[in-house]
Structure 1
Amino acid sequence: MKIAVFFVGEVRDAGFNASALAGADVATAEGLAEISIISGVRYDQDAIRARLAEVVPEVDGLVFIGGQGNITTPEIAAQYPGKKFAIVQGQKTGPNLASYDVLQEDSAFLAGALAARLTQSGTVGHLSGHRVPPGLKGRAAFVAGARQANPDIQVLTGFCGTQDDRTVTKAWAAAEISAGADIIFTMLNDARSGAIEACREGRARQIGNAMDWVEVDPEVFIASAIARIDLGVKGAIKDMVAGIIPDTPVHLGLAQGDFASLSMGGDVLDVHKEYIAKIAQDIRNGTCTVPNTYDGPEFQP
């Protein structure tokens, strides 16, 4: 079976896309399907539609990576009822369309709780790029986790409009630091490097997402909200090959297994690690609910 895995933006972004690519690579190595990688597509719905129109006729199935696919994938799935489609981080389903949602918000909630416990200034930050559902849910969860740990915490939250422009993210992160944030949770792709530079210059700490940034740069990263997007991609491909099309979105979070976690640096005290472990268990057993909406103020630099 020929399956295209479709990426918006750069695929080796040291973030969300890179984690998804790892899942596609594992599926290829295990011989699940003949997999091709489509990447570098601009974050523009017309550009996405045009590229999909080129790719879909050549394959048997397509896995769209990212919440951007909630708009265009159902459209093209309806045009090609004989082919199979899936969205990873999606919410749309259909006769030939499945969605798999790795619950990044579970680990974002843990990130918020840790940030609130560790801040010295009483102010923490959140910075993301595009307003897609996974990013919006991640922001809501981070704020909620922070407020559960400290109801008086101040959270500066913003979407800068880009996942890949490091100049923009550096300016936004620096502005949040200037406004008092000493820990910033970033949900970014290639542009994370700008936020890293701002944190290094401003002597702030950062909590990353998707992959384990603590291993990459422990000087800047106090923690990282890990989301196993790779497992979501592999699962989508495996189901597609087997002809399985779930009629509701498949949620993959703490309650379903080790799809989300919070990596913490060696300088995080055991008392904080134990606190985070207790919250994670509460999410698993359903006694802690992670919200997915936020209607509070937003930071502008």
Structure 2
Amino acid sequence: MKKVLLVLGMILTLLLTACGEKKEASTEEGKLKVGLVLSTGGLGDKSFNDLAYAGMQRAQEELGIEFKYVEPASVSEFEGFLGEFAENNYDLTIGIGFQMADAMEKVAADYPDSKFMLVDMPVEAPNAIGAVFNTEEGSFLAGALAAMMSENQKVGFIGGMDVPPIREFGNGFLAGARYVNNDIEIVQAFVGGNSPFNDPAKGKEIALSMNDNGIDVIYHAAAGSGNGLFEAARERNFYAVGVDSDQDYLEPGLVLTSMLKKLDNAIIAVIKDLQAGEFEGGTRMFDVANDGVGITELTYTKEKIGEEKLAKLEEIKQMLINKEISVKDEISKLN
């Protein structure tokens, strides 16, 4: 019997290795073991996967965990990878992205004594945390800055699809702009089509059309289609605003800022709770107050913005933290 168990353990270990294991900390007794199942696309996406991996590296350095990660080639592999980590008695298994929700709910039910975290989507399982991000608040900050920097008093938003999760980005941004300047003109448009999140040509077309109408600061929540916005900003010399990760470097000085979903901070927070014995399943919101969303350090634009506007932006941030501004209420004023 012992030999059978030993062989099974070796097989599971080999499966993890063959299916994309890239990083493993040295194994030490008493260390928390965390498994990370990345979204399709893997490392190098300059977005969610890279941020999640950075969070794991931070957790390794700051909290002393050990971790492994895998890079699924397709959605069909999610369930198998999640299950392998649970089968190997990992203390926490983390999945990235909404596409993993069904697989995680199934695996969490199959392994009720294991703990899971799904990033960027609620998950219906008592032993899993669904980490979600208040994109309206983060976008509100970006919109406030956009209004301060718009010379023409016109700002725009480009979304990938006209669906509620994408509208949250746009509504927050436009509400932030209107909060700073009640007379500012606000416009939004959506890429749509067969590739709403991977059509940079359409993204550029929309951005150029907006700029033709005097819009001089444009925010996107359109993934790869947003690359067209950055190209248009370079050609026409207007400000773009990035999303999810720090995109400021893509066009230094022209990407005014980026609205950040701080996946690394969310991962650190959940691992800390697990270490403290305070892990509780359910939906967990990450917002401005707990440093789950925000904007970049403005590395390339801080001097252009100036101290007065930076001070005003910090004041708005503190009001969000103190719940003195309700973004929902401000959004309701748009209509």
Aligned equivalent of 2:70:
37
- 1:121 matched to 2:122: no
Which of the residues 275, 278, 285 maps onto 2:315? 278
How many matched pairs?
290
Instruction: Specify whether residues 24 and 218 from structure 1 end up closer, same or farther in structure 2 by C-alpha distance, changes over 3 A only.
Output: same
How far has the Cα of 1:221 moved from its partner?
Answer: 1.3
- Equivalent-residue separation in structure 1 for 2:162 and 2:103 (angstroms): 16
How far has the Cα of 1:58 moved from its partner?
Answer: 1.4
Between Structure 1 and Structure 2, the one with more strand by share is 1
Equivalent residues in 2 for 1:139-218 (5 A)? Answer: 139-161=170-192, 162-218=196-252
- Equivalent-residue separation in structure 1 for 2:50 and 2:161 (angstroms): 17
Which of the residues 264, 270, 283 maps onto 1:236? 270
Equivalent residues in 2 for 1:128-139 (5 A)? Answer: 128-129=159-160, 135-139=166-170
- Equivalent-residue separation in structure 1 for 2:120 and 2:162 (angstroms): 13
- Equivalent-residue separation in structure 1 for 2:164 and 2:329 (angstroms): 9
3-state SS in 2 of match to 1:95: coil
- 1:83 matched to 2:120: no
Instruction: Specify whether residues 231 and 40 from structure 1 end up closer, same or farther in structure 2 by C-alpha distance, changes over 3 A only.
Output: farther
- 1:57 matched to 2:83: yes
- Equivalent-residue separation in structure 2 for 1:62 and 1:260 (angstroms): 26
- Equivalent-residue separation in structure 2 for 1:197 and 1:27 (angstroms): 36
Q: Per-residue CA shift, 1:47-79, capped at 9, x if unaligned?
A: x3x222231231125322234445553344334
Instruction: Answer yes or no: is the 8 Å Cα contact 2:175–2:330 preserved in 1.
Output: no
Instruction: Specify whether residues 271 and 294 from structure 1 end up closer, same or farther in structure 2 by C-alpha distance, changes over 3 A only.
Output: closer
- Equivalent-residue separation in structure 1 for 2:242 and 2:296 (angstroms): 10
Instruction: Specify whether residues 18 and 295 from structure 1 end up closer, same or farther in structure 2 by C-alpha distance, changes over 3 A only.
Output: farther
Structure 1 unmatched ranges of 5 or more: 42-47
Instruction: Specify whether residues 148 and 113 from structure 1 end up closer, same or farther in structure 2 by C-alpha distance, changes over 3 A only.
Output: same
3-state SS in 2 of match to 1:94: coil
- Which residue identity is paired with 1:286? K
Which of the residues 267, 279, 297 maps onto 2:304? 267
Instruction: Specify whether residues 84 and 258 from structure 1 end up closer, same or farther in structure 2 by C-alpha distance, changes over 3 A only.
Output: closer
Instruction: Specify whether residues 67 and 56 from structure 1 end up closer, same or farther in structure 2 by C-alpha distance, changes over 3 A only.
Output: closer
Does 138-147 or 3-12 show the bigger shift? 3-12
RMSD (CA atoms): 3.2
- Equivalent-residue separation in structure 2 for 1:26 and 1:132 (angstroms): 34
3-state SS in 2 of match to 1:286: coil
3-state SS in 2 of match to 1:121: coil
- Which residue identity is paired with 1:91? P
**Structure of higher RCO (CA pairs closer than 8 Å, 6+ residues apart):** 1
Instruction: Specify whether residues 135 and 33 from structure 1 end up closer, same or farther in structure 2 by C-alpha distance, changes over 3 A only.
Output: farther
Instruction: Specify whether residues 270 and 15 from structure 1 end up closer, same or farther in structure 2 by C-alpha distance, changes over 3 A only.
Output: same
- Equivalent-residue separation in structure 2 for 1:270 and 1:93 (angstroms): 46
Aligned equivalent of 2:18:
none
Residue identity over aligned pairs, in percent, reads: 26
- Equivalent-residue separation in structure 1 for 2:331 and 2:73 (angstroms): 31
Instruction: Answer yes or no: is the 8 Å Cα contact 1:112–1:145 preserved in 2.
Output: yes
- 1:19 matched to 2:44: no
Q: Per-residue CA shift, 1:236-294, capped at 9, x if unaligned?
A: 34545776542442222222247524534121132221221111110011101122996
Structure 2 unmatched ranges of 5 or more: 1-32, 87-91
Aligned equivalent of 1:107:
138
